[in-house]
Amino acid sequence: MKSNLSEFEKYTGKKQKDVPTPLATISTGRAIALNKKASFLMKETDKHIELYYNSKKKIIGLKFLETPSTSSYSVAGQRRRNVVIRCATFITHYKIPHDKLRYYEVEYDEDEHMIFVDLHKMVKEVSPDDR
């Protein structure tokens, strides 16, 4: 029997995950993590991030950089997984809540090459006891 392969659907045997929205997580360890979808907004060559904060609007800005500046943080992790910015002093200085694990939607500004995390746009909260 000769068949046209284009008429068939390929079975991979794997469950397909929904692609999540870009999210940032602020952890109890006072770090900011970007999920895979958010980390792919970075260029391969981006290895550093400058942090900004709008205290009136409660918005964190993360500006991606290829080379370090005097105020930048190194990026830990890989683009294939979460990217982590260990920034305890930033989170403490601006009194950003970190008593629970909190997930926030992010917005990307292509012109500035920045991600913005609006602390009013939390999508999920997990207490340390619930983990």
Average pLDDT over residues 91-103: 95
Q: Does residue 131 register a pLDDT over 80?
A: no
Going 43 to 103 to 63 to 84, the CA torsion angle's sign is negative
Q: Does residue 109 register a pLDDT over 70?
A: yes
Q: What is the DSSP string of 35-69?
A: -HHHHTTS-TT--EEEEEEETTTTEEEEEEESS--
Around 35, how many Cα atoms within 13 Å sit in the side-chain half-sphere?
14
What's the pLDDT score for residue 2? 67
- Structure tokens belonging to residue 7: 């008429």
What is the domain partition of the chain in residue ranges? Answer: 20-130
% residues pLDDT > 90 (the chain): 63
Rounded to an integer, what is the distance from CA 76 to the centroid of its chain? 12
Q: Does residue 35 register a pLDDT over 80?
A: yes
From the list 120, 125, 124, 122, the residue with the least C-alpha distance to 57 is: 120
